[in-house]
Amino acid sequence: MVTTDFFTPVVDDPFEYGAIAAANSLSDVYAMGGMPFLALNIAALPPDLPAEVSSEILRGGAEIAKQAGVVIAGGHTIQDKEPKYGLVALGFVETEKMLSKGGLSPGDALVLTKPLGFGVTTTALKQEKADPAHVKEVVSWMTRLNKTAATLALEFGLIAGTDVTGYSLLGHALEMAQASKVALHFDYALVPFVQGAFAYADLWAFPGGAFDNAQYYGKHIQFKGLDETRQMLLYDPQTSGGLLLGVPQDRLDKFLARAGKADQPAWVIGKAVKGEGIRVSYQE
């Protein structure tokens, strides 16, 4: 498989930006149950950008590639007014074991492997409203590879999965629901969020993509017991988000136990049922 992704900076530190962009690029391979082995750098850099900044961006990407066991075999750079960086990623996957959005069945548990709130936190950072501790937490999640989560999915023979990125939890979940011809029910109380997410949501520090997601996907979503601010957090675009996996009930307990031993966070946040669309409920 071959995939690519790149974007403008989401944090101020160039090394962290490069690392996040690389982890995000490799995530597309992991989301299909594949393992990346080779990558190419893609960079668009301003001509007046200090060389030490450019080198730190590339060093961040190289560090993540090293963690993933991926060789960066060159790439291509052009000039642009705003920095952009990412990878072309190549990976191997066994087609009969590949994760797909259409693999859900009624009764499957919906398991999320990273918390939400990255977009609203990084937007608060751009607005100079973010607590450094909250930014540090988000960076640690965004630079975390989805490698272990993908490995566990393969180990347990899972067939349903996707990564949660720009289309938000609800956008990517709806793609799975429609491809699988099932409905999804989420319990909001079970959805994990990073520490600053609610505070920045109350400040309405959502990126523009959150409103696009709400407008585009909202007609397929039913909410119960949630105000608009809490709804918007589920439309928050994620950069280098986690995997959303469908786990059959007869494998769920062993999957969660194995995830715990592998130091892989895994939250059961809902289930697939017969029907169509998505329902999100919340009871305090």
Is there a contact between 29 and 69 (Cβ–Cβ < 8 Å)?
no
The answer to whether residues 120 and 232 belong to one domain is yes
Report which residue type is found at 31. A
Report which residue type is found at 187. D
Task: Find the CATH number of the domain harbouring 77.
Answer: 3.30.1330.10
The answer to whether residues 176 and 194 belong to one domain is yes
Joined tokens for residue 123: 């937007």
Is there a contact between 191 and 269 (Cβ–Cβ < 8 Å)?
yes
Is there a contact between 200 and 252 (Cβ–Cβ < 8 Å)?
no
Its domain, for residue 228, covers: 99-281
Which residue, of 69, 95, 121, is where some domain finishes?
95
Separation of alpha carbons 167 and 215, rounded Å: 11
Joined tokens for residue 11: 């944090």
Joined tokens for residue 47: 């001509």
The answer to whether residues 80 and 134 belong to one domain is no
pLDDT in tens, the chain (284 residues): 999 999 999 999 999 999 999 999 999 999 999 999 999 999 999 999 999 999 999 999 999 999 999 999 999 999 999 999 999 999 999 999 999 999 999 999 999 999 999 999 999 999 999 999 999 999 999 999 999 999 999 999 999 999 999 999 999 999 999 999 999 999 999 999 999 999 999 999 999 999 999 999 999 999 999 999 999 999 999 999 999 999 999 999 999 999 999 999 999 999 999 999 999 999 86
The answer to whether residues 57 and 133 belong to one domain is no
The answer to whether residues 88 and 194 belong to one domain is no
The set of residues, in sequence order, having a beta carbon less than 8 Å from that of 11 and lying 6+ positions away, is 17, 20, 122, 125, 135, 139
